[in-house]
Amino acid sequence: MRTVAVVGASLAGLSAARSLRKQGYDGRLVVVGDELHRPYDRPPLSKEFLAGTLGEAELALESDDEDLAAEWLLGTRAVGLDHRGRTVRLADGREVRADGFVLATGAAARTLPGSEGLAGVHTLRTLDDARALRDELARGGRLVVIGGGFIGAEVASTAYALGLEVTVVEAAPTPLAGPLGEAMGAVVSGLHADHGVRLVCGVGVKGLSGESRVDAVLLEDGRSLPADIVVVGVGARPNVEWLEGSGIALDNGVKCGADGRTSLAGVVAVGDCANWYDPRAGHHRRVEHWTGARERPDAAIATLLAQGAVEPGVPRPPYFWSDQYGVKIQFAGHAAAADSVTVEAGSADGRDVLAVYRRAGDPVAVLGMNQPRLFTRWRKQLAATS
Ligand SMILES: Cc1cc2nc3c(=O)[nH]c(=O)nc-3n(C[C@H](O)[C@H](O)[C@H](O)COP(=O)(O)OP(=O)(O)OC[C@H]3O[C@@H](n4cnc5c(N)ncnc54)[C@H](O)[C@@H]3O)c2cc1C
């Protein structure tokens, strides 16, 4: 393999580039990214960076002395993959010819139809999004967050600490029920009420009102929530439109084996855009977590360099964390697989719970709220037993 092209210059793309060098690849390495920025860390964008306690320089994912001997083509979007011609086409007309390809184009924030062009309405995925939202939050006022998922909840928590009046609207009866299950979703989202942040559940959003700037969020039950700023936190969709027509199998992202191999030889996918086969669950699963984007490229690159001749190992159970209202929330495993949840330490009311999810008596997931030591112990056990 003489040239490898990595498409997507963020956590998964950088991790793949590092894995290539670590695993002995010394050929040409081209990294394509549509943002102008060098790789930066996204989790602080809804936390310390939004709060103004962390600067832009501290978001950098590369260290000062790191040199991957890569060609960085930044600020340019990949618009097509020609597998037969072994070429990635770029929006500026250039082409990158390569023998191996790593797809790492991540995900983009979903928007609310009809909200385009209305001032005061934000999504949060990129550094540029975070800069714009941070500037608005600094002016204060009433914030309505649409979506009670992790990013919405973190924005609510940060804005509350900045002194804004915050309301969170969630269409489901219980926020976070998908990733954490009903019972623990209620415990974690109880943090909002603990801090006087209003949580409106079980009602959808009909639309937004305002002439050039948003002034209210209109709910489907007829209520109207006055708003100076609105954050739309309704999930993300994988950035894979550019691959349509390439012949690669797409299904909720790029469909991959348990080692990141795609339906095309010499092409692997990593990070939030990749829908990896999960041998534990017996089906594909696309995870949008930092740790997966950081760790899984090692296996995908081993597959790429060995041209598919390696046996896929079983990846560690998915893990993510979230910081809300001063509470460190950690979760590993799959809540949906469980038939019971028990509190092993702390208490739900004290918001310091350590809860273990089991199926037929075996642990399949663990949740910690400000329980880092016990959580780490259970996470290890989970990896060993599941
Ligand atoms: C605000 C926020 C907070 C988060 N907090 C947490 C947290 O607390 N814990 C946790 O576990 N995870 C968290 N995450 C998730 C974590 O950041 C992601 O899982 C991780 O960034 C995924 O990395 P990635 O490289 O796969 O994708 P991304 O980071 O999305 O990067 C993909 C890159 O590819 C670029 N790109 C897209 N299409 C093209 C194209 N056609 N051509 C060229 N380039 C392209 C994109 O612009 C982007 O730069 C958070 C995410 C956000 C946005």
Residue 169: C-alpha distances to residues 90, 123, 166, 216, 285 (Å): 39, 15, 10, 12, 27
- pLDDT, one tens digit per residue, over 258-285 is 999 999 999 999 999 999 998 888 899 9
Please give all residues whose beta carbon lies within 6 A of any atom in ligand 1, as ranges. Answer: 7-13, 32-35, 42-43, 45-46, 77-78, 104-107, 124-125, 151, 239, 242, 271-272, 288-291, 293, 320-322
What does the pLDDT read at residue 386? 61
Rounded CA gap, 260 and 302, in Å? 10
Rounded CA gap, 41 and 162, in Å? 22
- 106 alpha carbon – ligand 1 mean position (Å): 5
Domain 326-385 class?
alpha beta
- 209 alpha carbon – ligand 1 mean position (Å): 30
The tokens describing 43, both together, are 């989790």
Strands 216-219 and 107-109: unpaired
Mean pLDDT in consecutive groups of 10 residues from the start of the chain, 386 residues:
97 98 98 98 98 97 95 98 94 97 98 92 98 97 98 98 98 96 97 97 96 97 98 98 97 96 97 94 93 96 84 83 98 94 96 96 96 96 76
Rounded CA gap, 267 and 86, in Å? 10
State CA 325 to chain mean position distance. 20
Choose one of 62, 105, 248 to mutate for the ligand 1 pocket test, by most ligand atoms within 8 angstroms of C-beta.
105
What's the DSSP call for residue 60? B
Rounded CA gap, 380 and 356, in Å? 13
Q: Can you point out the beta strands (E) in 164-286?
A: 165-170, 198-201, 205-209, 216-219, 224-226, 229-232, 236-238, 254-255, 267-269, 274-278, 283-285
Q: Give the start-to-end residue ranges of the domains of the chain.
A: 3-108+237-306, 111-234, 326-385
- 22 alpha carbon – ligand 1 mean position (Å): 23
Rounded CA gap, 229 and 209, in Å? 12
Residue 147: C-alpha distances to residues 16, 156, 367 (Å): 32, 10, 21
Residue where the block lists tokens 């989202």: 189
222: three-class secondary structure by DSSP: coil
Question: How many residues does this entry show for the chain?
Answer: 386
Amino acid at 277: Y
Q: Which atom of ligand 1 is nearest to the CA of 107?
A: 30
What does the pLDDT read at residue 169? 98
Q: Which atom of ligand 1 is nearest to the CA of 8?
A: 34
- pLDDT, one tens digit per residue, over 342-383 is 999 999 999 999 999 999 999 999 999 999 999 999 999 987
Phi and psi torsions of 73, nearest 5°? -105, 90
Choose one of 6, 7, 10, 128 to mutate for the ligand 1 pocket test, by most ligand atoms within 8 angstroms of C-beta.
10
Q: Using an 8 Å Cβ cutoff, are 339 and 182 in contact?
A: no
Domain 111-234 class?
alpha beta
Q: Do domains 111-234 and 326-385 have the same CATH topology?
A: no
- 125 alpha carbon – ligand 1 mean position (Å): 7
Helix and strand element counts for the chain (H, E): 9, 26
Query: Is 3-108+237-306 in CATH node 3.50.50.60?
Result: yes
Residue where the block lists tokens 């050039």: 212
Q: Using an 8 Å Cβ cutoff, are 111 and 219 in contact?
A: no
The tokens describing 89, both together, are 């086409």
